[in-house]
């Protein structure tokens, strides 16, 4: 196994569909500019309420990627 050094960035994804979609949205968008993403950690989940119902989910992620 090769030793790795990771850089960590924080992202916030959102979706009206749920937390899984919010995570996927954040990672998909980040993949267009961040190379070598290897793992993520959900550090916070929150949402927006309208008329007593969940209208939008937000998920804060820490994403680790290897350095070249």
Tens of pLDDT along the chain (68 residues) come to: 477 889 999 999 999 999 999 999 999 999 999 999 999 999 999 999 999 999 999 999 999 999 88
Q: How far apart are CA 24 and CA 31, in angstroms?
A: 10
Q: Report pLDDT for 67.
A: 86
Two tokens, residue 53: 């119902």
Q: How far apart are CA 46 and CA 30, in angstroms?
A: 20
What DSSP string describes 1-44? -----EEEEEEEEEESS-HHHHHHHHHHHHTTT--SEEEEEEEE
Q: Report pLDDT for 68.
A: 80
């Amino acid at each position: 196994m090769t030793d790795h050094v990771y850089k960590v960035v924080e992202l916030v994804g959102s979706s009206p569909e749920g937390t899984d979609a919010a995570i996927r949205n954040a990672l998909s968008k980040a993949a267009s500019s961040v190379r070598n993403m290897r793992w993520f950690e959900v550090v916070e989940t929150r949402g927006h309420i309208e008329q007593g119902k969940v209208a939008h989910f937000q998920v804060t992620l820490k994403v680790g990627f290897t350095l070249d």
